[in-house]
Amino acid sequence: MIVMKILLLFVAWCVLLVVSWPLALIAPLLFVAVWLLVLPFRLLGAVIEAALALIKAILLLPARLLGYGKSPVGDSKSSG
C-alpha cells in the first residue's frame, strides 16, 4: 500500500515537472519546510499524550489495587 502511494506521488510530481518545472523543483523544498515546521507540534502532542496517560494511571491505581475489573471468584475464566 505504501509503495503504491509513493508511486502515485512520483507520477504526480513527474506530471507537475512537465507542466510547471519551477513549481516541481520548489515542491520538495516546501515539503521539507512544512515538515520541519510541524515537527515541534507533533512532539508536543506526544508529550501531552504521555502526560495524560500518566495522570490516568495515577488516578486509576487505587481501583486497580482494590481489584476493580477482575472477574468474580465463581467465574469459569478464573478457575483455570
Q: Residue 36 to residues 2, 25, 43, 49, 80: CA-CA distances in angstroms?
A: 22, 18, 11, 21, 53
Residues with Cβ within 8 Å of residue 77, at least 6 apart in sequence: 71
State mean pLDDT over 25-29.
Answer: 92
The verdict on pTM exceeding 0.85 is no
Which residue did the predictor score with more confidence, 77 or 52?
52
pLDDT the model gives residue 77: 58
Alpha-carbon distance of 11 to 3, in angstroms, equals 12
Q: 26 pLDDT exceeds 90?
A: yes
